[in-house]
């Protein structure tokens, strides 16, 4: 692929599953980010490299998507392969076939599986029975593919990752979990500000804190938005009611009063802080329109990087 990394790193990643960011080491994630940056530059130069010619990715969707579907489907095509969209209504897993049976059957047809679903246990069971790489496109617990693109974006706009402080304001959901893990592994300080009852899972927080300590960094969880934003280089938020939580919308709007990222809150961060959001966004709820559409926002650069990060991931695991 034109990189200077050892072949052993390519061999190390080939065939691996990607269920959470903790599945990969710091050097492995660093390699993926370097590969993503390389593939992005090649695309901008109009240079086409297709290391996955003849390879097929099966994409199982039990949750709808814009960025995940398009980044993987366009990405596998650009890499020379083929992507198959498989909704739960299209395959037998949606009619009660055991996950292990589906995994074994698909392993005979495909070179990789990406699944976007509700339960992390489903992804885990799929990976345990499959003999090809399984990529977690999103579950209620984790969104590791998004955070790969986020780390790429932070590296681009801040010139590096080590020592960067990321403040996440909002629901302690799958995004908060993956940002804590990814940030901890790659040497960021991460502070999650969420109201009581909506904070990240304690077990995942403790795992991230242990990983952060290995790099001399910190992962913190608080209800104090001001403390989280102090000295923050990156300010991140997500919707207050994720897919499947729509019935909780009004209750959550009350719980999250004071957690909207607006210009007043953004001023508590570093003067050159950037704003990030995994999208889709609800302007006027978790973020003010003049922030997400303002000069500090890098949300569309972040969204584009889903393509490059996913291409790197597929190249490494399926190549």
Name the nearest CA neighbour of 266 among 288, 284, 240.
Answer: 288
Count Cα atoms within 13 angstroms, Cβ side, for 259: 28
- Point out the catalytic residue in the list 78, 111, 143, 302: 143
Cα–Cα distance for residue pair 182/216, rounded to 1 Å: 15
Question: Residue 146 annotated as binding?
Answer: yes
Cα–Cα distance for residue pair 282/170, rounded to 1 Å: 13
Q: Which two tokens stand for residue 76?
A: 């596998």
The CA-based angle 205-138-201, given to 5 degrees, is 20
Question: Residue 238 annotated as binding?
Answer: yes
Question: Residue 242 annotated as binding?
Answer: yes
- 260 is annotated as an active-site residue: no
Question: Residue 279 annotated as binding?
Answer: yes
- 146 is annotated as an active-site residue: yes
- Point out the catalytic residue in the list 78, 146, 207, 310: 146
Question: Residue 56 annotated as binding?
Answer: no
3-state secondary structure of 316: helix
Question: Residue 283 annotated as binding?
Answer: no
- Point out the catalytic residue in the list 111, 278, 308, 310: 278
Total Cβ atoms within 10 A of residue 269: 22
Q: What is the CA radius of gyration of the chain?
A: 19
- 69 is annotated as an active-site residue: no
- 306 is annotated as an active-site residue: yes
Residue 81 CA to its chain's centroid (Å): 22
Question: Residue 67 annotated as binding?
Answer: yes
Question: Residue 116 annotated as binding?
Answer: yes
- 43 is annotated as an active-site residue: no
Q: Which two tokens stand for residue 67?
A: 């960025």
- Point out the catalytic residue in the list 116, 177, 217, 252: 116
Element (H, E) at 57: strand 56-61
Q: What is the DSSP letter of 169?
A: E
Question: Residue 68 annotated as binding?
Answer: yes
Backbone φ and ψ of 67, nearest 5°:
-65, -40
Question: Residue 262 annotated as binding?
Answer: no
Question: Residue 278 annotated as binding?
Answer: yes
Question: Residue 145 annotated as binding?
Answer: yes
Name the nearest CA neighbour of 261 among 285, 294, 243, 279.
Answer: 285
Q: What are the angstrom distances between the C-alpha of 60 and each of 73, 146, 308?
A: 12, 17, 20
- 116 is annotated as an active-site residue: yes
Question: Residue 78 annotated as binding?
Answer: no
- Point out the catalytic residue in the list 233, 306, 308, 310: 306
Instruction: Strands of 101-224 (E only): list them.
Output: 112-116, 134-138, 165-169, 189-193, 219-222
Cα–Cα distance for residue pair 283/237, rounded to 1 Å: 12
- Point out the catalytic residue in the list 207, 238, 252, 310: 238
Give catalytic residue positions.
116, 143, 146, 238, 278, 306
Binding site as annotated, residues for L-ornithine: 174, 238, 242-243
Binding site as annotated, residues for carbamoyl phosphate: 65-68, 92, 116, 143-146, 278-279, 306
Binding site as annotated, residues: 65-68, 92, 116, 143-146, 174, 238, 242-243, 278-279, 306
């Amino acid at each position: 692929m034109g990189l200077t990394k050892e072949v052993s790193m390519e061999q190390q990643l080939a065939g691996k599953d990607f269920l959470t960011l903790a599945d990969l080491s710091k050097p492995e994630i660093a390699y993926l980010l370097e590969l993503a940056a390389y593939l992005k530059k090649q695309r901008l130069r109009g240079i086409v490299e297709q290391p996955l010619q003849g390879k097929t990715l099966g994409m199982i969707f039990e949750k709808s998507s814009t960025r995940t579907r398009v980044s993987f489907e366009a990405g596998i095509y650009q890499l020379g392969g083929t992507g198959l969209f498989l909704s739960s209504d299209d395959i037998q897993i949606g009619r009660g076939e055991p996950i292990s049976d589906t995994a074994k059957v698909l392993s005979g047809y495909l070179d990789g599986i990406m699944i976007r679903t509700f339960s992390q246990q489903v992804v885990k069971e799929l990976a345990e029975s499959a003999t090809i790489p399984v990529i977690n496109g999103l579950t209620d617990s984790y969104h590791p593919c998004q955070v790969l693109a986020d780390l790429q974006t932070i590296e681009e706009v801040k010139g590096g990752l080590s020592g960067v402080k990321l403040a996440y304001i909002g629901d302690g959901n799958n995004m908060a979990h993956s940002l804590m893990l990814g940030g901890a592994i790659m040497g960021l300080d991460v502070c999650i500000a969420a109201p009581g009852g909506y904070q990240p899972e304690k077990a995942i927080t403790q795992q991230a804190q242990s990983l952060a300590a290995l790099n001399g960094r910190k992962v913190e969880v608080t209800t104090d938005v001001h403390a989280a934003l102090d000295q923050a280089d990156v300010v991140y938020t997500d919707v207050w009611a994720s897919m499947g939580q729509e019935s909780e919308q009004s209750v959550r709007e009350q719980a999250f009063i004071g957690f909207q990222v607006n210009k007043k809150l953004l001023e508590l961060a570093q003067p050159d802080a950037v704003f990030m959001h995994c999208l889709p966004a609800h302007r006027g709820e978790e973020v003010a329109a003049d922030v997400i559409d303002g000069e500090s926002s890098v949300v569309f650069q972040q969204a584009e990087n889903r393509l490059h990060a996913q291409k790197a991931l597929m190249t490494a695991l399926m190549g």
